[in-house]
Structure 1
Amino acid sequence: MSSGTSGTFDLAAILAERRGEKYALNETYLNAQLVRVLKTLGYDVNFVRGEGPHLYDAAGRRYLDLLSGFGVFALGRNHPAVVAALHQVLDAQLPGLVQLDVSLLAGVLAEKLLAKMPGLERLFFCNSGTEAVEAAIKFARMATGKPRILYCNHAFHGLTTGALSLNGSELFRKGFGPLLPECVKVPFNDLPALEAALKQGAREGGVAAFIVEPIQGKGVYMPDDAYLAEAARLCRRHSVLFIADEIQTGLGRSGRFLACEHWNVEPDIVLLAKALSGGFVPVGAVAMKHWIFAKLFDRMDRALVHGSTFGKNDMAMAAGIATLETLDAEKLVEKADTTGKALMSELTALKDKYELLKDVRGKGLMIGLEFGPPSSLKPGGLKLKAAWHLLDTARRGLFCQMVLIPLLRDHQVLCQVSGDDNYIIKLLPTLTIDAADRRWIVEAFDDVIGDCHQIGGAVWDLGRSLAKHGLKNKAG
């Protein structure tokens, strides 16, 4: 390695000198509305360090992160195996991104990934989940010669224009049209509706693919036991590709390497990202059957007809390899299954104590807690029901903030509502959480949900403040 100087860049000095400016800089030069949200909710904590499933603030307080970067940190933050792999790449001074060459590390990562997904034979690497969705649209249309893509309500496949065309929420779509034509929404978990859309599409030019999250991220909505397998069968009957978006559910999150494995489904195309990064370098992957790949890259003069400049960079490929090896070495897929079952069982027991908690669902360490209005028949029920509806009038789903704010403030547990306009809190902890972390989660929710049943307590003072703020926003 050359002995050149490092110049004037000093990361430690920048962090030490300017740490207090974090929110001001973002408010001035980046997303000021996000800063407003964080300050309004009391989320302007100023985290300074991350290790495993935990975050630490400037005062040294430890927090349990149940967002894990929307699933990016499956291994936890700063896992030493991935850190070591990235140091080795930097030290090796590899000739990365020689665009008129191929990458050894990309080949190794592709080999390791495909070994875990029987039936899939080729890989395309890109930079993110949304870019993987964009690529899948192109592969599907080229492979089938048909234009239409079917997607589900509540779906979230990304926010670039093509992926946004497959987004099931109007909140994200509004104001960005016109989006891609020939993208048709169908209800999730509704086989007759899917079959009708497939038949109609066949009459109107043809359906290239049906894209679906095995477990929907926005709401942690679960498929019926027969839904995915039957949906795949219907697709094959109509010569339509079945695309499984495993960007959040894949790489062990559900307690299987792919969530599709729970229902014995073999997709034609699988999309991966998030956790494949090891928490460091953005990466996306599109795995598919060989014939699909060959339809797009069918001649030498079309060898570069689709690509991504940084898609096979050595840092991302090394992070992916290290991630797969760590999943195996630490048996994290199996751990997600057993830990998730235990955590869901303990959280489900809270339903018997608290009528505001209506459902606990999920697979592995992807868990949704759904809240709902109380019965007016129980002692104090009328007052509790009236308080619920006050929040609901101010803004649908506002009750969840009344849970989330004290979870962070009083218990140092960070999580988020699962999508706009719903009553669902989603838990996506790292796959490395231990029994102590599990107890931390259950005890924190037990305490906060219990407080929510006590009209007149401090949590309902917060609720009134949230309702007032929500009504003010409505009026404005």
Structure 2
Amino acid sequence: MKKNDETSRNLIGLDQQHFIHPTSSMQQQQQHGPAHIFVRGKGVYLYDHDGKAYLDGMSSLWNVNVGHGRRELGEVAKKQMDTLAFSSCFATFSNKPAIELAAKLARVSPPSLRATFFTSGGSEANDTAFKLARHYWKVKDQPKKRKIIARMKSYHGVAMGATSATGLKPFRDFAPSLAPDFLHVDHMSIEALRALIDREGPETIAAFVCEPIQGAGGVHVAPDSYLCDIRSICDEYELLFIADEVITGFGRTGAYFGCDHANISPDMMCIAKGITSGYAPLGGVMLSKSLHEQLTAHSHGTLLHGYTYSGHPTSCAVALKNIQIIEEENLIDHAATMGEKLLLGFRTIQEQYSEIHDARGRGLMAALAFSHNGKNEPLAPKVVQAADQRGLILRAVTFDQQDVLVCAPPLIINEEELNQLLSILESSVQAVVS
């Protein structure tokens, strides 16, 4: 950003004084101002206040699946706002977009899932799932089943329950007095999970929550067999299986949902991000037909849980159009094809540098893991900075002594743009490690 530009200086000053940024360094903001002020997006690119283009290698926050600047989504939002911008869904009030979206989700999701509770985003979706799991066992006369097991290296959001479930310790250390009854287990060990259940007692455990691919924790891809084993263990011990598909849903992995790769159906599935490609805030929890029916049969009185914007008509209308785009443009198969090329490119870069010990991913989610012995300064943040200077946005994960660079471009990325991404990444790695 041009510091001598008066408009830029004014925006920087206002940002420093008045805008508290999420998941950012407050001191860095005060010292240097915002890293970028973006004013426009088109396709896989973002453009800053000075007109410089950046290839959005993270789909912003893993969520702009259909790319930036989709006029048809803005047009749908305007049409819905002109008709009915908002109305409450409390007290069984409803609206057409929410009804149609819930029905559409039931058609495209894993086969057991039928009904959706809408939220404003992923953190609320996971919090809702945890509350519904505990409520379910309460109305089933098993109130002791309230513990939630989550995996280490997992990320489930920043609401109180979602933070407590998150398996990345710095997030839990951010504020004291976490919610009780959350447990964490090795992120890939079936044996460790079974031992934890036996130790705690299955009669005390409500649910197990799992990302099919851990995103913010470093793109750790669970084998299909792991997910199948989880499904079996949950059935064996009578636990609810919650799939956190906030990042992995709506084509990101090269399938509609991450669970589809293993051909399993969870009892609950949390969704957000790609459901609207970030064009409107929306999330939700899908419940299986069995769970929905049993909750309905055993619950009495009012379901005392809900958000002001649950079933927001404008957000739901945007989601319907977004899903239509994903389907009509065949973006799920495209993500699978381009994902193979992305992973191949990452592995080619890995082969050139001894500092990289792993290249992994699935669909349009990929990561490079740098060797990190706990003493040297992590390399991934330096590569991310070098890439930023060259016009590519990526992210670094350094939690739990990891040193990982992660990448998740929009599902619309074409081969030329993917080659540009890989070229910038390779030059950035070379600049840092050479």
| TM-score (normalizing by structure 1) | 0.82
Instruction: Work out the CA distance in 2 between the residues paired with 1:402 and 1:85.
Output: 41
> Residues 237-316 of structure 1: matches in 2 within 5 Å?
237-298=236-297, 302-316=301-315
Give the distance between the partners of 2:272 and 2:255, measured in 1 at CA. 16
Give the SS at the match of 1:226. helix
Distance 1:98 1:127, change over 3 A: closer
Alpha-carbon shift at residue 354 of structure 1 (Å): 1.6
The aligned runs of 1:155-166 (5 Å cut-off) are 155-166=154-165
302 and 445 in structure 1: CA distance in 2 versus 1, 3 angstrom threshold: same
Cα deviation for residue 65 of structure 1 reads 0.8
Q: Does 1:96 align with 2:87?
A: yes
Q: CA deviation at 1:292?
A: 2.1
Residue 196 of structure 2 is matched in structure 1 by: 197
- Between the two structures, name the one with larger relative contact order (CA 8 Å, sep ≥ 6): 2
Instruction: Work out whether residues 400 and 423 of structure 1, in 8 Å CA contact, stay in contact via their aligned partners in 2.
Output: yes
Partner residue of 1:405 out of 368, 385, 389? 385
Please give the residue correspondences for 1:34-45 in structure 2 after superposition, counting only pairs within 5 Å. 34=25, 36-37=27-28, 44-45=35-36
Structure-1 residue corresponding to 2:14: 25
Instruction: Report the CA distance shift for 1:30/1:45 in structure 2 as closer, same or farther (over 3 A).
Output: closer
Paired residues of 1:244 and 1:267 also in contact (CA < 8 A): yes
Alignment of 1:107-118 (within 5 A): 107-117=99-109, 118=111
- Summarize deviations over 1:276-303 as a string: whole Å, max 9, x none: 1232211111111133234444478634
2:212–2:248 Cα contact (<8 Å) kept: yes
Structure 1 residue 31: deviation in Å? 2.7
CA contact (8 A) 2:84 2:313 kept: no
Q: Give SS of 2:201's match.
A: helix
Tell me the SS of whatever aligns to 1:149.
strand
Render the CA deviation track for 1:444-465: whole Å, top value 9, x for unaligned.
12212223342xxxxxxxxxxx
Matched, 1:208 2:206: yes
Tell me the CA shift for residue 70 of structure 1: 1.4
Cα distance change on mapping 1:301 and 1:226 into 2, 3 Å: closer
1:142 Cα deviation from its structure 2 partner: 1.8
- Counterpart of 1:106, as a letter, is A
Q: Are the aligned partners of 1:42 and 1:405 in contact in 2 as well (CA < 8 Å)?
A: no
Deviates more, 1:83-92 or 1:194-203: 194-203
The answer for unaligned runs of 5 or more in structure 1 is: 1-15, 374-388, 455-476
Which whole-Å deviations, capped at 9, do the CAs of 1:43-67 have from their partners, x for residues lacking one?
A: 7233221112101123322110112
Are 2:97 and 1:105 equivalent residues in the alignment? yes
Displacement of 1:40: 7.5
**1:112 Cα deviation (Å)?**
0.7
Residue 44 of structure 2 is matched in structure 1 by 53
**SS of residue matched to 1:165:** helix
- Alpha-carbon offset, residue 35 of structure 1: 5.7
8 A Cα contact 1:139 1:292, kept in partner: no
Aligned to 1:414: 393
Q: How far did residue 304 of structure 1 move? A: 3.9
Distance 1:42 1:65, change over 3 A: farther
Letter of the 1:440 partner, please give it: Q
Question: Paired residue for 1:432, among 400, 408, 412?
Answer: 412
Distance 1:401 1:300, change over 3 A: closer
Contact 1:149–1:184 (Cα < 8 Å) also in 2: yes
Deviation at 1:21, TM superposition (A): 2.7
What secondary structure, in the 3-state scheme, does the structure 1 residue paired with 2:206 have?
Answer: strand
Identity of aligned residues (%): 27
Matched residue, 2:121: 128
Alignment of 1:336-375 (within 5 A): 336-372=335-371
Letter in 2 for 1:37: Q
Per-residue CA deviation, residues 252-273 of structure 1 (Å, 9 max, x unaligned), is 0000000111122211111100
Measured in 2, the distance between the counterparts of 1:107 and 1:268 equals: 21
1:172-198 CA deviation, whole Å, 9 max, x = no partner? 111523222221111111011111122
| Shift in Å, 1:17 | 9.2
The answer as to whether partners of 2:392 and 2:421 remain within 8 angstroms in 1 is yes
TM-score scaled by length of structure 2: 0.90
For 1:430 and 1:300, locate their aligned partners in 2 and report how far apart those are by CA, in whole Å: 41
Pair member with larger Rg: 1
Amino acid across the alignment from 1:34: S
| Aligned position for 1:76 | 67
For residue 66 of structure 1, the aligned residue among 57, 62, 67 is: 57
Distance 1:393 1:446 in 2: 25
Distance 1:159 1:247, change over 3 A: same
Q: Deviations over 1:185-224 (max 9, x none)?
A: 1111101111112222326x42110001111111111223
Q: Match for 1:425: what amino acid? A: L
| One-letter identity of the residue aligned with 2:104 | K
Q: Quick check: 2:15–2:34 contact (8 Å CA) kept in 1?
A: no
Structure 1 residues 106 and 19: alpha-carbon distance in aligned structure 2, compared to 1, 3 A threshold = farther
Q: C-alpha distance in 2, partners of 1:159/1:310?
A: 18
Q: Aligned with 1:150: secondary structure?
A: strand
Q: 1:99 to 1:142 in 2, by over 3 A?
A: closer
**In structure 2, what is the Cα distance between the partners aligned to 1:209 and 1:311?**
23
Tell me the equivalent position of 2:112. Answer: 119
Moved more, 345-354 or 94-103: 94-103
Residues 431 and 419 of structure 1: CA distance in aligned 2, closer, same or farther (over 3 Å):
farther
**Deviation of residue 306 (structure 1)?**
2.0
User: For the structure 1 residues 104 and 59, does the alpha-carbon distance in structure 2 shift closer, same or farther, using more than 3 Å as the test?
Assistant: same
2:359 match: secondary structure: strand
Per mean C-alpha deviation after superposition, the further-off stretch among 235-244 and 272-281 is: 272-281
**Matched position secondary structure for 2:77:** helix
